[in-house]
Amino acid sequence: MDFLEFLSSVSPVTIFYALVLLILGFIITILIVIRLTTWNSVPMISRFESEKCYKDPNKNNATYPFPFMEEEGSIDLAVIVPSYNEEERLPIMMNETLEYLENEKKNKPSFTYEIIVVDDGSRDETSKVALEYVKKYGVHKIRLLTLEKNRGKGGAVRIGVLSSRGRRILMADADGASKFSDLSRLQIALEDLNGKKGNKAVIVCGSRSHLQDEAVAECGFKLFTRPAALLTFSALHVERWFQDDSLLELATDGQGSTFDQLAICCRGLED
Ligand SMILES: *[C@@H]1O[C@H](CO)[C@@H](O)[C@H](O)[C@H]1NC(C)=O
Ligand SMILES: *[C@@H]1O[C@H](CO)[C@@H](O)[C@H](O)[C@H]1NC(C)=O
């Protein structure tokens, strides 16, 4: 049976339905393509299964899922510590951080915090060192997020931030370059910008440079309100941002409307 014979043997109604189906299929394909190519408001963050959980060394290493991209924070401050091969410097930084945070808690018992150590695929014992702190302070205060592969600082911070519970989120460095005495000044600057009960998207960063122009490049601590952190770290250009480490550039170079909503303040901090 050749094609023409075949055609004449099917009824016009069947041909009509086949055509309608064909056209519908075409339209749906086009819609799917449009959706896929324009939908970038949802961040493409893939995590290994092991990166979705933290271990509790006080409960036989039982694992619990990290919260992920929760809108609302449930504790006052989350400190994110990206660490790559930091087994030596991490204890110094952790001791200093814990001393500050525990002291805050002593002065104000309702204050709650967490430290998230993000082991960025280290080849040394960074995770083991961190886990000892988790064991000592408990998973409510310290959590270890061990990445399967090295993602670079931007990637490590991003996963740490999105897995955190803080209403305020502080990015610190495992090498301890930033000083905790700066934090209270940053907090004051942040609340200034944020208003009394505000929950705006605000970032403040401290700088130890005396020259205002260089202030940006020398940023130490960066303190975010939760909305600012979610906006910033669910955006797609974050990895690049960390390469040149210039927060203000990101905020002002027209990366889209996202950053119009951010108030950013970089203060020079004098010793
Ligand atoms: C928990 O894991 C750590 C590191 O992987 C290990 O050193 C420790 O022995 C484990 N503890 C238990 C109770 O299994
Ligand atoms: C950190 O603190 C612990 C407990 O107080 C102490 O044993 C350890 O030596 C300290 N490490 C450093 C590097 O300061």
Q: Collapsing DSSP states into helix, strand and coil, what is residue 36?
A: helix
pLDDT reported for residue 21 = 95
pLDDT reported for residue 16 = 92
Distance, in Å, from the CA atom of 217 to the CA atom of 131, rounded to the nearest integer, reads 32
- C-beta of residue 249 within 8 angstroms of C-beta of residue 219: no
- Choice among 53-67, 127-141, 244-258 with the minimum mean pLDDT: 244-258
- C-beta of residue 160 within 8 angstroms of C-beta of residue 118: yes
Is 14 or 217 the better-scoring residue by pLDDT? 14
- Choice among 190-194, 212-216, 226-230, 237-241 with the minimum mean pLDDT: 212-216
How many Å lie between the centroid of ligand 1 and the Cα of residue 61?
6
Specify the residue with its C-alpha closest to ligand 2, atom 5: 95
pTM value is: 0.74
- Of ligand 2's listed atoms, the one at least distance from the Cα of 91 is 13
- Of ligand 1's listed atoms, the one at least distance from the Cα of 128 is 4
Taking only the tens place, the pLDDT of each residue in 17-45 is 999 999 999 999 999 988 777 655 445 67
- Of ligand 1's listed atoms, the one at least distance from the Cα of 61 is 1
6-27 burial, b for 16+ CB within 10 Å, e for fewer? eeeeeeeeeeeeeeeeeeeeee
Specify the residue with its C-alpha closest to ligand 1, atom 5: 128
Is 172 or 64 the better-scoring residue by pLDDT? 64
How many Å lie between the centroid of ligand 2 and the Cα of residue 188?
30
Specify the residue with its C-alpha closest to ligand 2, atom 3: 95
Specify the residue with its C-alpha closest to ligand 2, atom 14: 92
pLDDT reported for residue 44 = 61
Which ligand is nearest to the Cα of residue 95, counting in written order?
2
Taking only the tens place, the pLDDT of each residue in 134-158 is 999 999 999 999 999 998 888 898 8
Q: What percent of the chain has pLDDT over 70?
A: 72
In 3D, which of 145, 141, 146 has the Cα closest to residue 122? 146
Decide: 60 in ligand 1 pocket, CB within 6 A: yes
